[in-house]
Amino acid sequence: MTRRLSSLHPLLTSLAIILTVAIVSISPLAARATEGVSVEQAMVRAGPPSLSTTAAYLTLHNNSGKNISLTGAHSPAAQEASLHETVLSDGVTKMRPVPRVQVAAGASVTLSPGGLHLMLNGLRQPLHPGESVEIVLEFSDGSTLPVHAEVRDLRDGGHDHEHAHEHKHEDMH
């Protein structure tokens, strides 16, 4: 897959360090549909209108006989999407880019608050609870899988780590 640096929106300059590591092509791939992989519980975190970055969560089921990896995503709702992981390091919650998330044959992997997630950077419009956001998942075999994620207000359900995570996105330089 060709990886290239797209022009960065000024609001995203603080995320440049992340993006240079975890850049994902924003060009939709003319790829075949993913076979044998299903998605459940796809959701996107709602936020205030000023929010330019948010996270998406979902559960992947690999019903096929082959291992496959989620390698990225794109969405019409955001300028960029990338795979991230929230980790606790020396008592501080940080997030870091993840190049791929393997889903072994017959296995399931959940992207959830406080762990693996999809970052949506450069939101094109505010996301309101109840709306649906299309996210196209990209896999290691070159296939893609479009999913519809429901926008949910997850702020009240988050714990301290997740709040720290949200702030980290805003404060990262």
Give the count of residues interacting with Cu ion (CB under 5 A). 3
Helix, coil or strand: residue 5: coil
Q: What is the distance between the alpha carbons of residues 128 and 117, in angstroms, rounded to a whole number?
A: 19
103 touching Cu ion, by CB under 5 A: no
Instruction: Find the residue with minimal CB distance to Cu ion.
Output: 84
27's tokens = 């060009």
Judged by beta carbon, residue 61 or residue 168, the one nearer Cu ion is 168
Q: What is the distance between the alpha carbons of residues 116 and 97, in angstroms, rounded to a whole number?
A: 10
Judged by beta carbon, residue 96 or residue 124, the one nearer Cu ion is 96
Which one of 95, 98, 109, 145 is in contact with Cu ion (CB under 5 A)?
95
Judged by beta carbon, residue 74 or residue 84, the one nearer Cu ion is 84
Judged by beta carbon, residue 97 or residue 146, the one nearer Cu ion is 97
Q: What is the distance between the alpha carbons of residues 156 and 163, in angstroms, rounded to a whole number?
A: 10
Judged by beta carbon, residue 147 or residue 164, the one nearer Cu ion is 164
Q: What is the distance between the alpha carbons of residues 42 and 163, in angstroms, rounded to a whole number?
A: 20
Burial 90-122, CB ≥16 within 10 A → b, else e: eeebebebbeebebeeeeebebebbebbbbbbb
119 touching Cu ion, by CB under 5 A: yes
Which one of 84, 111, 116, 127 is in contact with Cu ion (CB under 5 A)?
84
Which parts of 6-65 interact with Cu ion (CB under 5 A)?
Answer: none
73 touching Cu ion, by CB under 5 A: no
Residues near Cu ion (CB under 5 A) are: 84, 95, 119
